[in-house]
Every structure is written in structure tokens, then in C-alpha cells.
Structure 1
Amino acid sequence: MKTPLKALLCAGMLLALVSQPSASRAASPSWLSVGGPAPGITPAQPAATVQWSTDLADPAHPRFVLNTLAMRVTPVQTRGGEFLMIDWPDSARSGDVGAPAIPVRRELLVVPQSATVCLRVIAENPIVADASWFGGAWRAMPVQRPVEKLPGARKSAPFDFDAAAYATDADLPAERAVLTDVGIFRGQRLMLLETRPVAYNPVAQKLTVWPQISVEVDFGHGAAFEPLDDVSSWLADGTANGRSLTRGQTGTGDIFMVVASAYASAITPFINAKPPQGYSLTSWTAAPGTTAAAIKTQIQNRYADPLIRPEYVLLVGDTDTIPYWTGGGEGYPQTDLNYVCMDGTSDWLPDIALGRFPVRSATQLQAMIDKTLYVENQQFADPGYLARAVFMASEDNYDITEGTHNWTITNYMEPSNIDSDMLYSHTYNATTQQVRNAFNAGRIFGIYSGHGSETSWADGPPFSQSDVNGLLNANMYPLVCSFACLTGNYVLTECFAETWVRAPSKGAAAIWASTVNSYWDEDDVLQRKLFIVLYDDYLREVGPAFNATKLRYLTQMGSGSTTRRYFEMYNLMGDPTLAIPEAQAALRVSPSGSLSAEGPLGGPFVPAEATYLLRNVADYAISYGITLEPPVDWLTVETSPISVLPGGTSVEARFIIDEDAQSLLPGVYVTNVHFDNLTDGIGDSTRQVVLQIGRHVFPSPDVPKPINDYSTITSRTVVTRRFCIADVNVDLNLTHTYVGDLLVTLTSPQGTVVTLHNRSGGGADNLVLTYDDEGSAPDGPGTLAAFDNQRPTGTWTLTVSDQAGADTGTLNSWTLRILPGGAACTPWPVGDMNCDGAANILDINAFVLAIGDPFAFAVTWPDCDLISGDLNGDGEVNILDINPFIDLVAGG
């Protein structure tokens, strides 16, 4: 009998640094299943990998449960040999650079200031996987240092391997959960909870997984929480226990403005404009030679008084008149962050939303004021530009930049009815002129990810300071985010980001950019967190939104020196109170994603439910309605019986896959949930619910196979099942340097050919992905939908052709994942209920079951079509078909 592991751990343990691996990935075997009765390796991706639940009934003792159902196991070829990456999608990683990378779950907690915090951890029934599970000797992938966004940096990055760490004969890490102080945010003490369902012993080559870990946090008796104010109220959504906290006093709405003396008069129009917007504004003039420390003292003095504590700080003047700070994070970046960190010299959590007007003349300041107030006043000459965005991605490491842009567009732009240009240098051969055209036509977002310099975007597509100054986008000013190296280095007289905001009647209203080199994977995480904050958390003022984005980034990436660097290096050039306008107001629904559930015949289905928040962001009440199209019995929508939302309020709606789904036959079931503003129609939106039942998995048995120069290989798998195809996905695991050499096709038993990979990708290494028309679609010609409504029975052939020299590789594995559908295929003969090709007395039992219990028929004869029992041709199978069936069988 396995003994539960119980521990009492007190706070103060240090979290390890987190970094993303720079090496390429592969995937054979695919998944370590630990959530069912038969743990083991399987090629099929499960419907769910981890589940996180919270119990906040007692705020002084919040409880969290992490259920781990499956781990992804990914072979990685490196300069140091082959390793296995153990993780799950979107997992965080823990471990020092060079030490084994351990997947973890991180959550931010709000903690009483005076509390002595302890953890009660219960981790029981561990599953131990030794080397035999993985096919022999193996090593867990080590943590790699971040890779800068510099040409060739990913290829030339050193491989980090700590031999001493891999000589440790012990489970790493030893604790199943740790809690670490992060700092103080707006008077709230924050700690980071790291839950660790995996331990790795490098010497024993053993992986231990705890399928369930329960963590209770004990804040002690009498420990009191500080109420949340308007600024810290984001913590209600952004922390694991924030919803249990109370709201305190309403914020002051105070802006404290530090103005270089050269602009004391020129800033007057901006000062006059803020009170009508609902803000109180106080300015302080910085004389020539004023130090950064002296300016911070002024901010701290105001922050110390709750009655005048600022919510926003705006610096007016470039770094020649308002000095910058040198950060304490990795690389010591130039930063403005220190101005708003109010809790000691080592503090790097911003307590106040911060922005800068980085101007060196009154003319530049006037241009920034004009553009800022034009957007804030929201009297647009062309309001249509608020429904347009442009996303730009580099050639180098395009899989990262394009993938993040596509995720943003799919999850946030499309559900918000924002049309997005995908100006990708690699996939679409985007040009500089296309970037000019996009901004000239008006875009509310301009999002760039790729190589940058102090004066340009280098390759995604190239765009220079002269290009910005040549724009013709008057009165259509975007928020620009430059996820790139050096574009925000305001130590220069004029860096690239400054050109965007200084240019009169063109350029941007505000920009977020880095003073130093940024990193590939870290920028990917930062961009995703930004749009989660803008749309799911619904923070629209750029200053507060950027602070919340950094805190969400910390939650994912940990609180190490790289995270501190990211807090410091990305600075806002613009007004922190600038609210990103929307094309529509009133009804807003979040999150933006659809509910996609999957499971076997009869269930269970994962995920079983989803919760959506409906907000009325108008200043008047609206009536709303929720309808299903088409109506279905298997989905229940639970919400308030009151269908009126006063201005500024919200209500939740739960989508639940209910018990009726357990009697559904194999196939794909879809309904659209419409959220309708019945008052004026502004903000109507739709979320799709997709339920997939009974997907079959067919791995190829004849791999691995080598891929040599100028050669073609084929791999085959035979499907004996005889259902009708509703959807096909293909898992491919292929290691090969320079995938631009390769042509990969899939041929069905009927001879339909779909090109999965068509010599794309250039010098990138390896093809490790799932081809899915709704996700990573094939290059073409052809789409996976070409296989729909065929029968899968017979031989499927994957062909890999190497069409150039110098690079070789291996086809490691490939797997068909086929979902059965209805009866759209050419039917079996009428009356052929056991689908043996003939209608005769052998079909009687199946026919009787189909009449009496169609669900039991689907379970007993899963490859056969129920509709074959429709003998009278009325489209149904029922007792009216009995006599025609008897006549058919008797005649046969």
C-alpha cells in the first residue's frame, strides 16, 4: 500500500529561475497518462492534462487542488545529446539553468501583511515511471537560459547542462508545494504558490508523478487582509484567492505629473483636459538637474498620504530632463519602473500606473497632447478604425511570433469583431509598403514581434523612423506594442518608439517598448498576458493594464532576475490613463474562447463546463438574452433569472455539458450560444460549443525511419474500423535539420492526397505538431477536411520526401486521430446492420437493438451506420421499418 505524503511547510522557500528551452522539440512517445486506472505511455493526446480547483469558503484557509491527468513527454535533440522534456501545455517550469526542468503550476496569492504563512500539503498515491517506461536510459531536459531576439542567437545559443545536478541521487524537487514572498503591490502582500506534481531522480532515471496534490494555505488566526482599493482591485481576478477579499475605499483618480521646467507652460492644455474626464491632477515642476531620487521622493510623499495617493504618474520630458533609472534585474536595463515602486530600495513591483511623454521640445509635446486627447475624447472622424488591427511578425523564429499573433487574433480579435492584418514576413511575404498601407488606413492595435533596433523594426517587415514619419494616419492613432530588442532605448536623442509618439498628426497615441534586448519565449508570454488583461480582465487604461500584464507574466514565469528585467525594460511612452477605445460599447462577454469538450462514448467529457462573464460597460441599463442555435438537449446554460444589467455591472453564465450527452452517439455536435443585447444590439457576440465523442487513435507501427538526402520514404498504418469520418487530425513527430527541404503528404485508402508540409519553414528544425484544420492547418494543396465523409478502412500512407542535400533526419512517429460522424458516407447496403456487406439473417439482432436502443447499438456495433436500418426511407429507424426488414431478410 502506498503511503500518503503529508507535509507542513512554512513560507520563505526560494523559487527557482524559469526559462524556456531553446532546443527544438519532438514527440515520441507523446503522453504519460496517470489519471486513469492503467497508467502508461500513449501516443494520443488526452482531452485534459491538468485540472485546478479552488475552495475559498474560509478566506483564512484557502484550499487548492491540482489534479494531473497526463504529462507530455517530448524527445529533444540537443548539442548535449537527447533529452526528454516533461511538461503539459502552458505549464510553467522550475529549476536552475542547466538543472532538470520540472513542470509546475504557479498561482499568485494575496496574503495578510502580518501573517506567518504555512502550507499543509497532501500528495498521495504517486505513480513511478522508471526507464523502461521510456524505452531505456533517459535524461530530463535541462533548463536553458533565455535567448535574445538577435539574428542567429537561437542557433548559436550554448547548451546549458549542470553535471552536478544530474549526479544527484534524489527526487528533484523534494517538496510538492512551496510558497515564496514576491513583494508588496499597492499595500497588498503577494506570495507565489508553486505546486509540483512531478519529481525526477537523475541517477535512478525515475519520474514520480502525484495525480492529486491538495494544498491548504494557513494564514493564521487573527491575520487581517487589507481591503482592495480601485488600483489593487485587479487582484480579485489576477490571484488565486482574490475573489474572497473585500473592497475598500474608492480610489482618488489622482494623476501626479512630474513636468520638466522647460514644458511647464506647454503642458497646460493637457492639465486642463483631465478634470472633465474625471481625474484630479497635480503637477510638480522638476528644475534642471533634478535627480531621479529627488523626483521619487516627491512621489513617495504623496503616496504616503491615503487622501492624495496617486493612481497614475506621468513624466513629462525625455531622459535629458527627467532621468531614467538603472534596473536591478538581469542585464541592469534602463527603466522608469523605480519611480513607482514604493516599498524600499529592493522593491520592483509597481504600485502606481506609470507613463512618460518623452519629449525634447514643446512642439513634440504638443503633438503628443493632441494625439492623446483626440483618442481620449473619442470623437472619431473614422470610428471604423477601432475595428481594425495589424500584426507583424519576423522571418526569424516565425513559428513563435506568428503562433502568438495567431493565438491573439483567434482568441481576442475575432470574437471582438476586429479585422486583423497578418503581415508575416515568412508565411505571407509581407512588405514594408503593406505595413504603411495598414497604418495609413487606421488600426487601433499595431503589434510587432521580431528583430528590432534602436531605430527600426528589422525584419517583420522592416520599418524605419523615416517610414513612421511618412505615415498618413491622422486621427487614427493606434496603441503600438513593440516586442523587440532596443526599440524603446530612450537614452538616445530619439529612439524608434519615441518617433512613433512624437510624430505630429501621425504615428501612435502610445507605445510599449523595451530599452534592451528582449527574448523570444518571454516576449511570447508577455504578449499573451497583455491580451488576457485587456479582454478577459477588461483593464482598458494602458498604465494599469501594463502593470497587470507584468504581474500575470510573473505568475507564469516566476520571480527571478529575468522576470525583474522584463518588469524594468518595457516602459510606456504615453498617458497611463489612456483607455483603449472600442468599436462598440455596452455588452461585453469574456473570455473570448469557445467551449470544446471531448470524451469517449458515454462520457465523461472534459472540460465539463465553462463560465462566461457578461459585462455592461455602458452607463445605462441593458436587457440581455442567451439563446442556443440550434437548440440542443446536451448543453445547459445557467445564469441569473434577472435579464437586466444596470450600467457597470456584470453577471456570470455557466455552460454545462449535461447528462443527456452521455446518450449521444459518436460524432461531432455543435451549437452556437448567442449573447444578445436586447436593448440596442451593441456588443452582441457568439461562443461556439463543440462536443466530440469517440475519437479513434491509429499510430503507425513501422517507425522510426531514417530520412536521407534526396530520398523518399513511406510509412503506413492499416485501419480496420468501418465508420464514417467526421474529422481527421494528424500527430507528426519528425526530427530533421532545415525542414525547408521536406515535402510531407498523407494519402487515404481512397487515394485522396493532402500535403501536410510543403517545403516551408526555411532553416527551422523538426516538425513536431498536430495538423488540424482548426489549428495548425496543413500547408496544402488540400486540407484535412478532404477526408471527411470517407471511410477510414484500409491503408493510410505518409510520404516524406527530402528534396535537397546536406540535412538528414528521422521520421519518429505519426498518428491518425479520427472522429467518427454520421451517415454522410456511401451507406452500407440497406438492412446491413452488422456492416458485413450483406443484408441477411445475421443482421436480425443488430436491427432489433437499433430499434429498441440506438445508443446500445452504437456501443455494440461502433463501425456500423444506424441509418442502414431505415428500410422505408423516411429518414428514421423505428418500428415502421420492421415489416420491410422482414421482407428483405426473408427474400435474402
Structure 2
Amino acid sequence: NLEGLPKLPLSRQIIAVPEAANVTVSMVSASRETISLATRGVNYPIMPRQAPVPKCDNPEDMPFLIERDFYNTSQWTSYPEIRVEELGHMRGMRLYALDFTPLQYNPALKQVTIIREAEVRVDFIGANHAATQELRDKYYSPAFNGVFQSTLLNPVSTRGSLNRYPMGYVIITPANFVDALQPFVDWKKKEGFNVILATTSETGSTASAIKGYLQNIWDSATPENPAPSYLMIVGDVAQVPSNTGVTSSAHITDLTYVRLQGNDYLPEMYFGRFSATTPAEVTNQVNKTLMHEMYTMPDDSYLAKSVLIAGVDSYWSTSHANGAINYATTNYFNPSHGIDSQTFLYPASGSSASQIVQRVSEGAGYVNYTAHGSETSWADPSFTISNVNNLQNTNKYPVVVGNCCVTSAFNIGICFAEAWLRAVDKGAVVYIGGTNNTYWDEDYWWAVGYKPPIPSSGSGSPFVPGRTGNYDALFHENGEPFEDWSNSVAATIFMGNMAVVQSNSTRANYYWEVYSVMGDPSLIPYLGIPTDNIADLPDTIFLGMDSMELVADPYSYVAISMNGVLHGTGLASASGELTLYYTPFEEPGMADIVITRSLVKPTIASIQVVPNEGPYVTVSPLTITDPNGNGMAEPGEIISLNLSLNNVGVMDANNLTASIATTSPWVSILEGEEQIPNIPADGNITVSNAFSIQISPRVPDQASIPFEITITDGEHTWSSTRSIITFAADLNIGDV
């Protein structure tokens, strides 16, 4: 299927191949038939294959490609009936394309030969199965299961135990964004990710240095500590550079950072970017992301609405734009899925710009536009950066997909995608789009899957198993087992791109480079108002335990952590049962439990960790009593420290004594020991003025003064570290 030569049907399957194997294919048997086209009413040559048509180009301006030397001679097409082509590695999986061309054509004879039925043999010669398994163990990620299981002809059972390790998440950021990112980092840990936060001062500030840092992480992976599944870049190109495309120097791409095995274009991690130039812009995007992922929006009714737009193009929109949107509404975005879809088809969409903006402004959970675009807008119907900045959708932030040219070209200033994410108290939580031109055929396949032919009526293709597109991956409701689900926004991009690979398009590698996520690549869209998880959790767990039993919705991902440290993760079974194994807790406190699952509300809960015998006394943060009553520790003051104590044990705590010590040079302890009243099991008390200390007159402002507080009952001893902050006037003496 070469440009200028006859466009013949091709069936492409993706297969997994062992390491070191030489792949051979042969036709064992075939049933062929030669047909005269004239007898079937076909009196013209088979159309030659044309170059993909960019959405931003006029097809009339594109040259018509034809190999006249072929069409003017009596010869048969020489396409191999069956062949293989190495695609590369993705996530430790060696992938090949298996292409079957069942038809050959002779233009002079006006005949075609068709293979009606065939038996094909594929052999892997010299396979190194040990090396194959080693790679798959090192680079296994449950987040990639859906991509492999839905697209491979020979899916490999790669589902490992999520109890053994969580997925990894790498964040690359300038140092001055770290504080603004901290709530996002804390959440990702609670959600069940091993987070690696690296500043550009650690990785290096050039694109090649950052790639080297990520390459080292990839190369250092082990079966016990597999390579991360997600990469988040934080900053605009001036803060964290991107890369010039290889398939075209006209676009920018972050794909280069995750091309970590071989020279192919298949990525090894999902990737996304918070494009920001200031900490405030980071905070805004973090807040919108956390509202979505933690499900804290004050009104969730907007999630039951979508806005789907087939834009204007007199030649392509009827078949391709309407076809994609009709596929989406027929199969997924409809009342039977609890979704009210505001759908705008061509040609009526061309006069609906103000109505579309209003629908988005009122609130929608998912917005999709397909047609022409620019760096700063959807072209027709028009939706501009100014429209984005004037939206009123506070706390109603959609996932937005732009199947159009260059709306994610984030190297031009503030592009359309960046505007959606940076808009404060409005805009979107995620924008998916291209950093360069996208193409009519390829965008259709990306959205609905490679399901030829594309109906000219715009009715949309039927669902075809094994030909999954972006919409199918979002909903995963066609009988796919759990391993086939593609949950995150980044995974759905990969499913769309794999559909383009299945089409044998010459733009397949290009699509890997240009389609990207603005926002958190691990975000899971809700697609309607999600149901509550049936999670049933214990009220308490004991110190020293390393597992607990729980029940949740089938295939729920469960994470347990405390004080920012992830202790364990697990995946509920098909029946919803889980024995969650975790690293035992060494101190009592409140453990955080987060349970997530596609199309279900997250469960965010706390479980008390308590001793299983005797008393156990903990210390709450210190408060102070000071002479001037302002509640601040200031230079030269003698202040009292107030103790709040909790007995989280199962027996009363009696005969208690508390003592205090410090290593700080800025305080002197005047009274450092106190007798404490008895505390019943599961009780608490406050002891006012327990200790007396003097603050140095020379103490600096905002000094953190640590104290070691020891509680004993003569048999047990409990130690806690607590601190106070000093407040000193910051005097600047200027010219007089």
C-alpha cells in the first residue's frame, strides 16, 4: 500500500515477539479467485493510494499521486500477500506488524485476484525466552495491560501482582514549583503511586540531560522495582524544555523523553505536562486536578453532560467529522449511559458557535471537537482563547479533546490547550490535542478504531472487536476483561494511536509524536455521574499487622499510606475481595486509604492504627501560652507549652510522667518535667502549662525549635518529636 499505487485492502494485526527471534511467515494454504472487474460493473482503475490529508489543508491543493508506469503496463501488484514488519518495543514488549493483503490487481487486464481463505504460519526462530521474560518482568505495568490486550493478536499474560509493587510516577519540575506541586505529590502517593520528584537542578536543565536522567531510571529497573508508568513534566518550554519532532521539525514533542528502548517511536511511559510559568499557574492546575480526582466538586451534575462537535469542512465533515461524533453518541454518549450529549453535527454546527460556548460554560464533563483548528482556536464553529477565558464553568472542569490541527502547539506562547488548563476557576482539567497538523482519515481511526471503510453517509462505523479506538477505550464496555481496560486519559491516547498503527498509515510515528496530554496523564475521566464504591473497610488495624481483608467494587485499586509514606497497594478480585498486604506500621496514627476504579467515585478514608495490647500515648502538636497573649513565641519571652495527649491503646495509661528536651541553641528549658493525670483507653487530655521555656533574645524569625517529648508510666516509654516556630521582627534599616 504505497502512495501512488493501487489502494488495496490490508488487514494488519499486531503481534508480540520473543527477544532475539527471527520472525518468518508463510502461506500454508490459500483459496484464490480471479475476477474480471468489468463483470462486476467496475470499468475504471482502482484508485491509487493518496498521501494523508491534513485537516488544515485544502484537498484541492494537494497533488494527485499516481505511478503511471504501473497503471500503463500489464503487471500485477507485487505486494506480499503476507509479511511482517518490526515496530519496536513498548514497555518491554517486542512488537511486530503482521500484514495480510488479500487482493492483487492488474490494471491492463482489469482483473483482481482475491484470497478467500488462507492458513498462515508464523514462526519465531532462535527466540531467547529467558531474556523475553526478564524484560517483561522489569518493565511490566498494569497501566499498559489495556493497550496490549486490546490490540495484540497473541496477547501475553502480563498481569503481575499489584500487591508486590505499586506503579511509579516521575515528575520533572523546576525547584521553585515544588511547593505548589506538593498537594499533587501527596495525593499521588495516597492514590498508590511511587512518586519520584526530581527538579531540573537534579536532572539537568537541557532536554538531553532530562532524557539521560529518565533513561537511567529505565535502565535501572528490576522485577522488584519496575520502571515508572507515568511521566509528568511541570513547566512551559522555558522552564522544562521539550524536543523537536523527528517525523517533522515543524512540531514540538515530549515523546522523546519516553522513547527509552530502541530507536522506534513506541513510548515506554504515559506522559503529560502541566504547562506553567509561575507557581500560581501550577497551583491552579493542581487544584483543578485534585478536585476531579478526589471528587470534591460542590455539584457533580455537570459530569452527566457532554458537548460533541463535528466542525465545518464541506468535503470531509459529513463522512469523517459526523461519522466520528455519531459513533460516539450511538455507542456511548447517550441517555442509556446517563449522559445528556449536546451534539452539534455538520452543517448545523457552523452556525452554533455561541450555543456551543454557552453549553461548555454551563458545565460539561467531556468536550470533543473534530475539524479544523489553529494554535489558538477551534476554527469553525469558532472557539477561541478569549472564549475560554470568559467561561463561567467554575468547579465544572471537563476533559477536552481536540481532534484538529496544532491546538496543543505549546511552543508558540499560550496555545489553545494551555489556555484551557491555565484559566483560573474555569477552563478544563485535561486537554488532549496535537502539537502539529492532524489528518482526516487518521483522526477518524484514532477516535473510533481502524474499522474500514469509513461510511460516506457519516453514520459511523460499527463496533469491531480488536479494533479499539479512543471512544471504545474510554468506556471499555464491550465485554472486555479487566486486563483490556484503558482507564487513564493517556492510555486512551495510546489506544487511538495504536488504531493508526493498525491502519498502516504513513503518519503512525508522527501521531505518536504529536498527540499529547495537557494535564495529569493518569487522570481517569468519569463519563457520567459515577457510582459509589461499595468499599467495606475495617475501623482499626493493629501495629505490627501486615495485611487486612476488605471488600470493594471488582478491580478496585486500593492504596494504604501514612504521613506521606506508601505502605502497600492491592487490586480487588473479580468478586471485589482483597487481602491487602502492606509494610507494618511502627507507630499508631491514622492510615490513609484511597480506593480508585474506572467510572466509580474514589473512596478516601482513614483507618486508625492502634496497639493490640497495653496503653499507647501519643502527643498532639504543641500550643503555647505567652505573656502578651498573642500565641506566638517571640524573642526574650518566657512561655509555657501546653500538652495534648491521646491514649490510643487498649488499656488505661496510669502513673504518667512527661519530660521535654531540645537540641536548639535558641531556647532554655526552665521547667522540663510534669506529672500527667491518668488517661483512659481511647481517651485524651490536655495539660496546660506543662513545661516552661525561655526564648533567646537573638532568635531568628521563623526558626523551627524541635522538642523531644517523652512520656513514661514506668513500664512503657513513648517518645514524640514536636516543634514550635518563632516570630521575630524583621527590621530593615534604610537611608535616613
Smaller-chain TM-score range? 0.5 to 0.7
Quick check: 1:497 aligned with 2:426? Answer: no
Post-superposition offset of 1:282: 1.2
Code of the aligned partner of 1:159: F
Post-superposition offset of 1:581: 2.1
Deviation per CA, 1:558-590: give whole Å up to 9, x if none: 4x3x11111111121111111112423489xxx
Post-superposition offset of 1:244: 4.7
Matched residue, 2:207 = 292
2:174–2:234 Cα contact (<8 Å) kept: yes
Matched residue, 2:330 = 410
Q: Secondary structure at the match of 1:219?
A: strand
Q: Secondary structure at the match of 1:390?
A: strand
Structure 2 gaps of 5+ residues are 449-468, 477-483, 534-552, 559-572, 579-598, 601-736
Picking from 12, 20, 25, the partner of 1:119 is: 25
Matched residue, 2:146 = 234
Pairing 1:394-543 to 2, within 5 Å after superposition? 394-396=311-313, 397-399=316-318, 400-414=320-334, 415-424=336-345, 426-427=347-348, 430-459=351-380, 461-528=381-448, 529-536=469-476, 537-543=484-490
Quick check: 1:371 aligned with 2:288? Answer: yes
Post-superposition offset of 1:548: 3.1
Post-superposition offset of 1:230: 1.6
Picking from 204, 207, 212, the partner of 2:117 is: 212
1:112–1:223 Cα contact (<8 Å) kept: yes
Pairing 1:120-269 to 2, within 5 Å after superposition? 120-135=26-41, 137-150=43-56, 153-167=58-72, 169-220=74-125, 223-224=128-129, 225-226=132-133, 227=136, 228-248=140-160, 250=162, 252-269=166-183
2:144–2:491 Cα contact (<8 Å) kept: no
2:322–2:345 Cα contact (<8 Å) kept: yes
Matched residue, 2:491 = 544
Matched residue, 1:567 = 512
Quick check: 1:584 aligned with 2:498? Answer: no
1:586–1:617 Cα contact (<8 Å) kept: no
Post-superposition offset of 1:512: 0.9
The whole-number CA distance in structure 2 between the counterparts of 1:252 and 1:551 is 26
Post-superposition offset of 1:645: 5.0
Q: Secondary structure at the match of 2:407?
A: coil
The whole-number CA distance in structure 1 between the counterparts of 2:26 and 2:340 is 49
Distance 1:222 1:315, change over 3 A: closer
The whole-number CA distance in structure 1 between the counterparts of 2:333 and 2:210 is 39
Distance 1:217 1:249, change over 3 A: farther
The whole-number CA distance in structure 1 between the counterparts of 2:154 and 2:42 is 46
Identity among equivalent pairs (%): 29
Structure 1 gaps of 5+ residues are 1-94, 588-614, 621-643, 650-681, 684-892
1:123–1:176 Cα contact (<8 Å) kept: no
Post-superposition offset of 1:360: 1.2
Deviation per CA, 1:83-132: give whole Å up to 9, x if none: xxxxxxxxxxxx11111111011111111112121113134331111243
Picking from 235, 238, 254, the partner of 1:336 is: 254
Quick check: 1:110 aligned with 2:16? Answer: yes
Post-superposition offset of 1:401: 0.8
Q: Secondary structure at the match of 1:386?
A: helix
Post-superposition offset of 1:357: 0.5
Distance 1:221 1:349, change over 3 A: closer
2:38–2:110 Cα contact (<8 Å) kept: no
The whole-number CA distance in structure 2 between the counterparts of 1:199 and 1:134 is 16
Code of the aligned partner of 2:218: Y
Post-superposition offset of 1:553: 2.2
The whole-number CA distance in structure 2 between the counterparts of 1:181 and 1:437 is 48
Post-superposition offset of 1:422: 1.0
2:555–2:574 Cα contact (<8 Å) kept: no
Distance 1:235 1:571, change over 3 A: closer
The whole-number CA distance in structure 2 between the counterparts of 1:343 and 1:210 is 37
Deviation per CA, 1:391-432: give whole Å up to 9, x if none: 112121321211210111111222523221112351355423
2:26–2:82 Cα contact (<8 Å) kept: no
Q: Secondary structure at the match of 2:348?
A: coil
1:477–1:509 Cα contact (<8 Å) kept: yes
Code of the aligned partner of 2:189: P
Q: Secondary structure at the match of 2:66?
A: coil
1:585–1:617 Cα contact (<8 Å) kept: no
Q: Secondary structure at the match of 1:557?
A: coil
Code of the aligned partner of 1:255: Y
1:482–1:512 Cα contact (<8 Å) kept: yes
The whole-number CA distance in structure 1 between the counterparts of 2:52 and 2:519 is 29
Post-superposition offset of 1:505: 1.2
Distance 1:476 1:557, change over 3 A: farther
Post-superposition offset of 1:173: 3.4
Post-superposition offset of 1:145: 0.9
1:333–1:565 Cα contact (<8 Å) kept: no
Quick check: 1:281 aligned with 2:195? Answer: yes
The whole-number CA distance in structure 1 between the counterparts of 2:141 and 2:435 is 31
Deviation per CA, 1:112-159: give whole Å up to 9, x if none: 1121211131343311112432447531110011112226x0233221
Picking from 270, 282, 307, the partner of 1:390 is: 307
How big is the alpha-carbon RMSD for the aligned residues of Structure 1 and Structure 2? 2.6
2:234–2:274 Cα contact (<8 Å) kept: yes
Pairing 1:61-80 to 2, within 5 Å after superposition? none
Distance 1:155 1:417, change over 3 A: farther
Post-superposition offset of 1:549: 2.6
The whole-number CA distance in structure 1 between the counterparts of 2:188 and 2:496 is 25
Pairing 1:836-855 to 2, within 5 Å after superposition? none
2:311–2:349 Cα contact (<8 Å) kept: no
Distance 1:369 1:549, change over 3 A: same
Post-superposition offset of 1:317: 0.4
Pairing 1:661-740 to 2, within 5 Å after superposition? none
Code of the aligned partner of 2:38: S
The whole-number CA distance in structure 1 between the counterparts of 2:40 and 2:409 is 48
Code of the aligned partner of 1:435: I
Matched residue, 2:462 = none
Number of residue pairs aligned between Structure 1 and Structure 2: 503
Post-superposition offset of 1:534: 1.6
The whole-number CA distance in structure 2 between the counterparts of 1:136 and 1:176 is 23
Matched residue, 2:277 = 360
1:619–1:648 Cα contact (<8 Å) kept: no
The whole-number CA distance in structure 1 between the counterparts of 2:19 and 2:204 is 38
For normalisation by structure 1, the TM-score amounts to 0.54
Structure with greater contact order relative to length (CA < 8 Å, sep ≥ 6): 2
The whole-number CA distance in structure 2 between the counterparts of 1:193 and 1:351 is 22
1:229–1:249 Cα contact (<8 Å) kept: no
Matched residue, 1:674 = none
Deviation per CA, 1:360-417: give whole Å up to 9, x if none: 1122111100000100101332222222111112121321211210111111222523
The whole-number CA distance in structure 2 between the counterparts of 1:211 and 1:272 is 58
Deviation per CA, 1:221-270: give whole Å up to 9, x if none: 76525345424422542234344534345454111110023323322222
Matched residue, 2:244 = 326
Distance 1:348 1:173, change over 3 A: same
